[in-house]
Amino acid sequence: MDPIDISKVQPIIDRFVGKDVYIHLETTNGAYASHFNEKVFSAGAYIRNGKINYTRGKITGDGPYRAGLKIELGWIYAEGLTHWELDAKNRLLMAGHDTDGKLAVALQISETPFE
Amino acid sequence: MEKQVLVVFPHPDDEAFGVSGSIALHIENGIPVTYMCLTLGEMGRNMGNPPFANRESLPEVRKMELQEACKALGIEDLRMMGLRDKTIEFEDPEWLANEITKAIDELDPSLIITFYPGYSVHPDHEACGEAVIQAVKRIPASKRPKVECVAFSNDCVEKLGEPDVILDVSSVQDKKIATIEAHKSQTAGLMAGMKKRLQANEEELMNRIKYEQFWTYKFD
């Protein structure tokens, strides 16, 4: 993955506008967060292969970045994004890695279901 | 002397730090070891720093690492069960226990190694251990294999007492370190720091490498 460059990522987000796409959205602070530090409140959420169609999508911020997708009746967004990749299957993978390089958030868009 | 060992863990690398030395010892003693690994650790957070894997490529990376680890240990029967990381606790527990029962019926293990349900922190560990215990409970008490459990919750010694099985695995520590290193997407950062500490013979760390500890599960 490469560090996010809005000028490269935004056109790819635009490519999926108006198409039925599959979404992977994930946030996590890890299953061990409250084991290593009992003061940490462990929370996360995960959707894999949510089928959506968005009318606009935008990535913004000064880094880490935020991305929002406007869907018919609502929104999907992720914050803390640092890296991106258009993989061999033409899926847009965006992820946020913390200072140790551990994944903390992911937002991915694909025209075919994720395996 | 065991005749067949069955190891059941949910993630590639769950065996690395606490169990791989014991596995290597069993194999060196000519005892077959089967490793059922429920997922490919698809939801792992370590991607390398800077990242060399991503959420979609990680499963394939970790699958190869797991196979590499098994090679380092001499495990010939690796069973990747195809479940998804962080979803084990949401599966039908009866179905999962049935999968374990099938393996037990086939292999007739004298020893099963898994996580101690209630004392193993990660929800996948807890659900995995629970399924194994449920499966073993179906066997009449006199015929049950021994179940040695890994526990590491902050309250495990307080609640379970000291571990009753402590194995000196120093004779196979090279294999153990090779196993930890095989899972490099998950352990590379850790190993960089660990190597220096091992060279300095840091006692606490040396003991984690040289000794492995288990709690024998007490049924009823």
Q: Could you tell me which chain A residue has the CA closest to the CA of B85?
A: A31
Q: Closest approach of chain A CAs to the CA of B209, in angstroms? A: 20
Q: What is the DSSP letter of B109?
A: -
Residue B220 lies in a domain: no
- Range of the structural domain that residue B35 is part of: 5-215
Q: Closest approach of chain B CAs to the CA of A85, in angstroms? A: 9
Could you give phi then psi for residue A104, rounded to 5 degrees? -120, -25
Q: B27, B21, B62: which is closest to B41 by C-alpha?
A: B62
Angle at B155 between CA B154 and CA B159, to 5 degrees: 160
Q: Closest approach of chain B CAs to the CA of A32, in angstroms? A: 7
Q: B118, B113, B106: which is closest to B132 by C-alpha?
A: B113
| Domains of chain B: total | 1
- Please state, in angstroms and rounded to a whole number, the distance separating the CA atoms of residues A13 and A77: 13
- Range of the structural domain that residue A88 is part of: 2-110
Chain A residues close to B121, C-beta within 8 Å: 31-32, 35
pTM of the full structure:
0.91
Residue A105 lies in a domain: yes
| Domains of chain A: total | 1
Please enumerate residues of A whose Cβ is less than 8 A from a Cβ of B: 1, 24, 26, 28, 30-32, 35, 38, 46, 83, 85, 87, 91, 93, 95, 97, 100-104, 106, 108, 114-115
Q: Is B1 helix (H, G, I), strand (E, B) or coil?
A: coil
Q: Which of A26, A32, A115 sits opposite B121 (nearest CB)?
A: A32
What's the Cα-to-Cα distance from A66 to each of A23, A74, A104, A113, B31, rounded to whole Å? Answer: 16, 17, 13, 23, 53
Cβ within 8 Å, pair B124-A30: no
Could you give phi then psi for residue A92, rounded to 5 degrees? -85, 115
Provide DSSP, B118-152: TSSSSHHHHHHHHHHHHHHHTS-GGGPPEEEEE--
Cβ within 8 Å, pair A1-B121: no
Cβ within 8 Å, pair A87-B49: no
Q: Write the CATH number for B193.
A: 3.40.50.10320
Residue B165 lies in a domain: yes
Q: Is B31 exposed, middle or buried (0-12, 13-18, 19+ CB in 10 A)?
A: middle
Residue B191 lies in a domain: yes
- Please state, in angstroms and rounded to a whole number, the distance separating the CA atoms of residues A25 and A109: 9
Residue A88 lies in a domain: yes
Residue A38 lies in a domain: yes
Q: A46, A57, A75: which is closest to A13 by C-alpha?
A: A57
Q: Is A90 helix (H, G, I), strand (E, B) or coil?
A: coil
Interface check B64 vs A, CB under 8 A: no
Q: Write the CATH number for A53.
A: 2.70.180.10
**pLDDT digit string, tens, across residues A55-107:** 999 999 999 999 999 999 999 999 999 999 999 999 999 999 998 899 999 99
Interface check B86 vs A, CB under 8 A: yes
Residue B82 lies in a domain: yes
* Centroid of chain to Cα B218: 19
Residue B146 lies in a domain: yes
- pLDDT digit string (tens) for chain B, length 220 residues: 899 999 999 999 999 999 999 999 999 999 999 999 999 999 999 998 788 999 999 999 999 999 999 999 999 999 999 999 999 999 999 999 999 999 999 999 999 999 999 999 999 999 999 999 999 999 999 999 999 999 999 999 999 999 999 999 999 999 999 999 999 999 988 888 887 787 777 888 888 899 999 999 999 7
